[in-house]
Amino acid sequence: MLEVTDLHVNYGAVNAVHGVSFAAAVGKITVVLGANGAGKSTSLRAVAGFHKPRSGSVVLDGETITGLPAHKVVRRGMALVPEGRKIFFPLSVEENLRIGGYTASRSKVEKTMGEVYDTFPILKDRRHSAAGLLSGGEQQMLAFGRALMSQPRLMLMDEPSMGLAPTMVETVMASVKGMVDKGIGILMVEQNADAALELADTVVVVTRGETVWTGTAAQARSDKKIVHAMLGEAALDDA
Ligand SMILES: Nc1ncnc2c1ncn2[C@@H]1O[C@H](COP(=O)(O)OP(=O)(O)OP(=O)(O)O)[C@@H](O)[C@H]1O
Ligand SMILES: [Mg+2]
């Protein structure tokens, strides 16, 4: 269980996030919706230890981990799948996966890599290819696989469907569902609200650096107009 409360994050004098709260639980999907620049990525990066928050609290399974650096957050069982995937293009698929397992022992890395290959057979087929040669959807699976290498209980995903063709979005969302069914908890930022709402258990709307709405996915679906109004953008096709 992850509980983030009243997070504040600055970039120098710029207060990008001022009052973001959300939670995520094992075996559940929390979806964070919000317009461009709302502070979604900043919040995820701060929770994952890539940027120190100014204030607020991040509690993972009852332990406060606020401000802990990323490598320590990974050891506590939470991994970030970053915006834009951040794959190392010149490295092979397998080398990218090994980077995700950098906190684990060698024997554990081999075992976990086998599990990742079982989950994403395409990565096994392409394991010696340069990662830059993969399609966008395959690169997203590699980004998932790299995060899975640390055997997380919770994964933070920043716009996994970004830039993908609609059929690929479906494939990526199906693999997200597969990870949840295996008992991983997921907190996912998505601009593709329709695809995300189909999977979500809980929905959080972030507007201008603040959490302004939290509810169940059913409430968000029936309240599409409200969510739409808060996003301020045409993020929902038929709202
Ligand atoms: N490195 C940075 N330095 C200064 N300001 C930044 C930096 N990164 C982001 N910001 C600002 O912080 C605010 C939040 O940005 P953030 O990237 O978290 O938003 P987002 O919700 O993820 O947006 P998007 O949907 O476009 O990914 C924006 O006003 C942005 O311009
Ligand atoms: Mg972002």
67-103 tens-digit pLDDT: 999 999 999 999 999 999 999 999 999 999 999 998 8
Strands 55-60 and 2-11: antiparallel
Residue 124 dihedral angles phi and psi, to the nearest 5°: -65, -45
Handedness of CA 131, 133, 138, 140 (dihedral sign): positive
Options 3.30.465.10, 3.40.50.300, 3.40.50.150, 3.40.630.10; CATH of 2-84+152-231: 3.40.50.300
Nearest CA to ligand 1 atom 3: 11
Is residue 232 lining ligand 1, measured as CB closer than 6 Å?
no
23-65 tens-digit pLDDT: 999 999 999 999 899 999 999 999 999 999 999 999 999 999 9
Domains of the chain, by residue range, sit at 2-84+152-231
Please state, rounded to an integer, the average pLDDT across all residues of the chain. 93
Is residue 41 lining ligand 1, measured as CB closer than 6 Å?
yes
Strands 78-81 and 2-11: unpaired
pTM, full prediction: 0.94
CA distances, 224 to each of 10, 195, 229 (Å): 31, 13, 8
Å from CA of 73 to ligand 2 middle: 20
Is residue 38 lining ligand 1, measured as CB closer than 6 Å?
yes
Q: What is the pLDDT of residue 232?
A: 64
Residue 157 dihedral angles phi and psi, to the nearest 5°: -120, 125
Q: Considering only residues 103 and 226, tell me which one the structure prediction assigns the higher pLDDT.
A: 103
Nearest CA to ligand 1 atom 17: 41
Q: Is 220 left (phi over 0), alpha (psi -120 to 50) or beta?
A: alpha
Is residue 39 lining ligand 1, measured as CB closer than 6 Å?
yes
Q: What is the pLDDT of residue 233?
A: 54
